[in-house]
Amino acid sequence: MRLEMGTFPVRDIVFGRTTRYDAGRLTVDRDAVLAAVRQDPRIASAELEIAKPGESVRIWPVRDVIEPRVKVEGPGVCYPGICGREIATVGEGRTHRLSGMGVVEVSSVNWHDAGGDFVETFLDMSGHYGEMYPYQKLVNLCLVVEPDATLNEEVKNYAAHKAALTVSDQLGEAVRSLTPPEREVFELAPVDPSLPRVVYIWCVHSPQAMSGSPTAFCTATYGLTQLTPPWYLHPNEILDGALTGPYRTAFAMSWTVANNPLFLDLYRRHGRDWNFLGVISLRTEWTTQTEKQLMANQTAKLAKQLGAQGAVVTWDAGGNEFIEVVRSIQACERLGIKTVFLTSEDDATDGAPTMLEPLPEADAIVSTSFFKNVTLAVPEAPAVSRVIGLPTKIVRRGSTIGLHGGVDGGTLPTTGPLPPPWRYDDHYGFSSLSCAE
Amino acid sequence: MGIPVGMISAIYNFALTTGANRVIRGARIEHVCGDPTLSPEKDYAFGMRIVTTALQTLTIAVPGPTLFDPMAPGKT
């Protein structure tokens, strides 16, 4: 599999008569793009707004951030499988991307209606809270979209996300036939056989258990969100968006998955520092002991069969999912595969370990700091001049800083100071926070 | 002496490491004391079997973390 990635950096986005890209400036034909979105009869309302780095702007609710990518040559489409998109295997040929920008999916639609999982992320384009996330540096084209309110939650989710992907596709068309200013070739070329063979075990939350549905909306592998045994993915498939966001914590957006710095570094140093074997994607939140251990065993077996001597492991969640992740690490170590685990940490209370089940085999762990904003002592996000999206935010029990386990707070104006969401969670090493001594 | 604890858990191996001396095997994380795929009567009976087993363990002296299986033969 050989993929040529053409990058078109975006410095600025403006609305204008035609959607076009010219030397860093993306002009968007607002009416044409919205017309494409409104072709879906499930969409009740849609608007586009631009948010630029440094502005006193808050975007709420943020469900996903998508980097526009289009297949120019080769089979399939980028972000395959999700929302009914083609499922042909991707990763071959040529793909064009618009870097430095995001399409932000803004909608009141919640993840599912089984309870316990709420959209909590807002994004500030300036100020300390926004600085914690990579999206503050992107020029963001926000799609504020509401599906028909009479649809069921799952259908609404897919309609809202499909609308965001439609916007992404529309923008990608602007650069389909242009010559990219930056080009990079990605392939797993044969390398010096003495280089260590390394696999990336990429654990991804499945909403199946919490939502009660195998098709509930969430981070997807070729559009599938259900619990599946470990998959092998060629790294080019990741570059073409085979793993999409979003998951409910702010880092597992489609943008962060496609721009995962850990993944890109593993790939770019293939042939120089190691022999990168590719990605094993394990879906997590299996709900019995047996299933969790089975996934761990099979993940390690797959890594061993691929010839892995080392494995880098990440996950994107919290809670009981830790068990299959750490047991995968244990199973790998027991098969002679050396592991490194990148993870965020819980509070260290009364000397208790900062992770759920610290097994002795997981002996090389890199911390991306605490996953709770309250532990990080993140102050309230300050008042802003402009809001894109909903004018109010419910301060919700269990999901908002200071209210974990308490009762639902009131409804706050989005413009005003807002308590940060409960979770922070840098899954892929974007920020510079690490463990506190 | 402290208060005896019977911990019903679907992830029982992990539960055995938490300091609970009596761990009772539950069904699934999202329905520990039941099974929504069963009819209401059978779901209730299934749940009662798990819970009564758990209550019984509180009367049993154990040397350390011990796993009890409500579905083992002989349990009512």
pLDDT tens for residues A138-180? 999 999 999 999 999 999 999 999 999 999 999 999 999 999 9
Partners of A372 in beta bridges: A423
Complex-level ipTM:
0.83
pLDDT reading at B32 higher than 80: yes
Q: State how far the Cα of A234 lies from the Cα of A2, in Å rounded to an integer.
A: 10
Of B10, B17, B30, the CB nearest to A357: B17
Give the H/E segment covering residue A171.
helix A153-173
Task: Examine residue B26 and state whether it is found in any structural domain, yes or no.
Answer: yes
Identify the residue among B29, B32, B37 best suited for mutation to test binding to A, counting A beta carbons within 10 A and taking the highest. Answer: B29
| Cis, bond preceding A246 (omega within 30 deg of 0) | yes
Residue of A nearest to B13 (CA): A289
* Residues A338, A129: Cα–Cα separation, whole Å: 36
Instruction: Say what the pLDDT of residue A398 is.
Output: 59
Distance in angstroms (rounded) separating the CA atoms of residues A13 and A26: 5
Q: Does B16 map to a domain?
A: yes
Q: Which chain B residues are within 8 Å of A209, Cβ to Cβ?
A: 28-30
Asked if the model's pLDDT at residue A330 lies above 70, the reply is yes
Domain boundaries, chain A: 2-370
Mean pLDDT of A326-348: 95
Place of tokens 């005896």: B4
Residues A1-48: tens digit of each pLDDT: 999 999 999 999 999 999 999 999 999 999 999 999 999 999 999 999
Mutate which of A112, A285, A289, A330 to disrupt the B interface (most B C-beta within 10 Å)?
A: A289
Q: Count the Cβ atoms, other than its own, within 10 Å of residue A29.
A: 18
Q: For B64, what's the count of Cα atoms within 13 Å in the CB-facing half-sphere? A: 2
Distance from the first to the final alpha carbon of chain B: 29
Does B49 map to a domain?
yes
**Axis-axis angle for helices A153-173, A30-38 (nearest 10):** 140
- 3-class secondary structure, A346: coil
Helix, strand, coil percentages in chain A from 3-state DSSP, rounded to 5: 20, 30, 45
Asked if residue B1 belongs to a domain, the reply is: no
Expressed as residue numbers, the domain containing B18 is: 6-62
Q: For residue B71, is pLDDT > 60?
A: yes
Q: Which residues contact A270 (CB under 8 A, 6 or more apart)?
A: A188, A189, A191, A276
Residue B53 located in a structural domain: yes
- C-beta of residue B56 within 8 angstroms of C-beta of residue B76: no
Asked whether residue B11 is assigned to any structural domain, the reply reads yes
Q: Is A212 within 8 Å of chain B by CB?
A: yes
Confidence of residue A250 (pLDDT cuts 50, 70, 90): confident
Average pLDDT over residues A215-227: 96
Q: For residue A70, what are the β-bridge partners?
A: A96
Cβ distance B11 to A320 less than 8 Å, yes or no, reads: yes
Beta-carbon neighbour count of residue A414 at 10 Å? Answer: 21
What tens digit of pLDDT does each residue of A257-282 get? 999 999 999 999 999 999 999 999 99
Global pTM value: 0.94
How confident is the model at residue A334, as a pLDDT? Answer: 98
How many domains are contained in chain B? 1
Average pLDDT over residues A91-120: 94
Q: How far apart are CA A387 and CA A142, in angstroms?
A: 11
Q: Is residue B74 one of the residues assigned to a domain? A: no
On chain A, the residues whose CB falls within 8 A of the CB of B10 are 287-289
Q: Is residue B46 part of a domain?
A: yes
